[in-house]
Structure 1
Amino acid sequence: MTTISLVTGASRGLGRNTALAIARRGGDVILTYQSRAAEAQAVVAEIEALGRRALAFQLDSGNVAGFAAFAGRLHGALRETWQRDTIDHLVHNAGHGDHALVADTTEAQFDRLVDVHFKGVFFLTQALLPLLADGGRIVNLSTGLTRTSYPGYAAYAAVKGAVEVLTRYLAKELGGRGITVNTVAPGAIETDFGGGAVRDNADLNRQFAAMTALGRVGVPDDIGPMVASLLSPENRWVTAQRIEVSGGQAI
């Protein structure tokens, strides 16, 4: 049976790459976006061009109040498009970065990071548990910055650290249903994340490349296929793990 994966924040960057990698492996995809409707529909078209089915839904991953309605829309789409009541995979990718030293971080910045990267992950998972098939997969995206430190990312890394702890607890609580839960922690990647700093700032790019064993920063194709492979049956015995995908950054 064809798998159905829900990937949040998949209109661009690593989410888009992950959605396409899943489709290339033969899976169907439901993706969410916050505001980039046209880009999300372009991803849907790319997936359909690969011979797979795809849908896109608007979702603010930091607005817990909207999750029940989203779950209802998702269930209706599953019945209408796939004649099913469940998804197989949930990939929490949606997010943003705020670069600020501890002394300069505002409460609004902090709260938004918590809402999107931690509270949103926790309660969206809760809302979708009835729609996640037994034997399914959850992958939470984290960051290499939970293992090493870089000035300006304290709040961002801290909430991602919370997600890594949550991953272990979810793995324990959902293990009885055969659901695996893992964290994927990318290193520095050339995307538009954080304003495209790693991609567009040549000095920063060289700095991260110099501290990486493989001698370069990452690109989306280094991450999406790895996440897609983690969703496969071949990785059914991998759970509660933090898997860093960084080319050997800061080792």
Structure 2
Amino acid sequence: MENKSKIALVTGGSRGLGKDMALQLAKKGINVVLTYNSQADDAKNVVSQIEQIGQKAATLQLNTGDIKSFDAFVNTLSETLTNTFNTTHIDFLINNAGVGGYSLLSDVTEELFDELLNIHYKGVYFLTQKLLPMMNNGGGIINVSSGLTRVTVPRSSAYASMKGAIEVFTRYLAKELGEHGIRANTIAPGAVLTDFGGGHLRESKELQQFISNVTALGRPGEADDIGGVVAFLCTEDAKWVNGQRIEISGGMAL
């Protein structure tokens, strides 16, 4: 298997898209550190599944919206890399952790706006900044955006705005980190049936039908539709893919 000794850090890796990303990375021969916010048992379960695949894994607690906690997290990550993986650096950073937030423009509170800003943009920006010294040359960064930056759906103005910022940030990462051989790309999942946003898509047959009707492949996404693309971006097969937004939506609103 390739990349036997490479390490990916996946934020929000305890369930949903992050869990599938972590498992797909392991299947490519990549070791994984995954973070969770509150689902410690779920995270440990993912670690066990990765170990069953034959790769090393570890899990750390992290609230990606709490920027002041990042220095302590980096110290803990450094200890974990030394103790579990016998190294000091990571190769890939996947900024996946996130929360849903759906509200009409007229109803968006400053509290909701700030929560989305901190988790989806400010947290990603500064966590990436903190981790850059720990990244090996020739690695990669994958940021998670959303189909909602291209397809405009009411109630998502704040969330989608943060994801739009992430897409711009990713292009700047690609430009500034190119001298280190570090690639930066964005994936933009369409509507996916997970716990995300309180499982609002999974719980609504009406919404699922709407998504199916506007998607060329005729159904909402599943978690395992996404992780393989992230794993691909962390292989040599994707060594010339850089600064791109890759939508993974089954052909939504074409």
User: Same fold per TM (> 0.5)?
Assistant: yes
Q: Which runs of 5+ in 1 are unaligned?
A: none
Give, as a single letter, the amino acid of the residue that structure 1 aligns with 2:239.
R
Take 2:86 and 2:190, find their aligned partners in 1: how far apart are those partners?
Answer: 39
Take 2:13 and 2:169, find their aligned partners in 1: how far apart are those partners?
Answer: 22
What residue is the counterpart of 1:84 in the other structure?
87
What residue is the counterpart of 1:133 in the other structure?
136
CA deviation string 1:82-101 (max 9, x = no partner): 22111010000000011100
Question: Please, which of 230, 239, 242 is the counterpart of residue 239 of structure 1?
Answer: 242
Note the C-alpha offset of 1:21: 0.5
What residue is the counterpart of 2:158 in the other structure?
155
User: 2:187 is paired with a residue of what secondary structure?
Assistant: strand
User: 2:71 is paired with a residue of what secondary structure?
Assistant: helix
What residue is the counterpart of 1:106 in the other structure?
109
RMSD across aligned positions (CA): 0.7
Take 2:238 and 2:54, find their aligned partners in 1: how far apart are those partners?
Answer: 25
Take 2:6 and 2:203, find their aligned partners in 1: how far apart are those partners?
Answer: 36
Question: Structure 1 residue runs of 4+, over 2 Å off?
Answer: none
Matches within 5 A, 1:9-158: 9-158=12-161
CA deviation string 1:174-221 (max 9, x = no partner): 000000000000001110111112222111001001000011111011
What residue is the counterpart of 2:226 in the other structure?
223
Take 2:86 and 2:30, find their aligned partners in 1: how far apart are those partners?
Answer: 16
User: 1:238 is paired with a residue of what secondary structure?
Assistant: coil
Percent identity, aligned pairs only, is 51
Give, as a single letter, the amino acid of the residue that structure 1 aligns with 2:164.
G
Note the C-alpha offset of 1:108: 0.2
Note the C-alpha offset of 1:12: 0.7
Take 2:54 and 2:170, find their aligned partners in 1: how far apart are those partners?
Answer: 33
Q: Which runs of 5+ in 2 are unaligned?
A: none
Note the C-alpha offset of 1:126: 0.5
User: 1:49 is paired with a residue of what secondary structure?
Assistant: helix
Give, as a single letter, the amino acid of the residue that structure 1 aligns with 2:47.
V
Take 2:158 and 2:121, find their aligned partners in 1: how far apart are those partners?
Answer: 11
Give, as a single letter, the amino acid of the residue that structure 2 aligns with 1:63.
D
User: 1:151 is paired with a residue of what secondary structure?
Assistant: coil
Take 2:103 and 2:32, find their aligned partners in 1: how far apart are those partners?
Answer: 35
Normalised TM-score (structure 1): 0.99
Note the C-alpha offset of 1:79: 1.3
Give, as a single letter, the amino acid of the residue that structure 2 aligns with 1:249.
M
CA deviation string 1:17-75 (max 9, x = no partner): 10000111111100000011111111111111111111000001001111111111111
Give, as a single letter, the amino acid of the residue that structure 1 aligns with 2:34.
L
Take 1:193 and 1:77, find their aligned partners in 2: how far apart are those partners?
Answer: 28
Normalised TM-score (structure 2): 0.97
Note the C-alpha offset of 1:227: 0.7
1:7 aligns with 2:31: no
Take 1:83 and 1:24, find their aligned partners in 2: how far apart are those partners?
Answer: 21
Take 2:200 and 2:118, find their aligned partners in 1: how far apart are those partners?
Answer: 23
User: 1:60 is paired with a residue of what secondary structure?
Assistant: coil
Take 2:161 and 2:176, find their aligned partners in 1: how far apart are those partners?
Answer: 23
Moved more, 51-60 or 73-82: 73-82
Indicate conservation of the 8 Å contact 2:147/2:247, yes or no: yes
What residue is the counterpart of 1:190 in the other structure?
193
Take 1:8 and 1:215, find their aligned partners in 2: how far apart are those partners?
Answer: 30
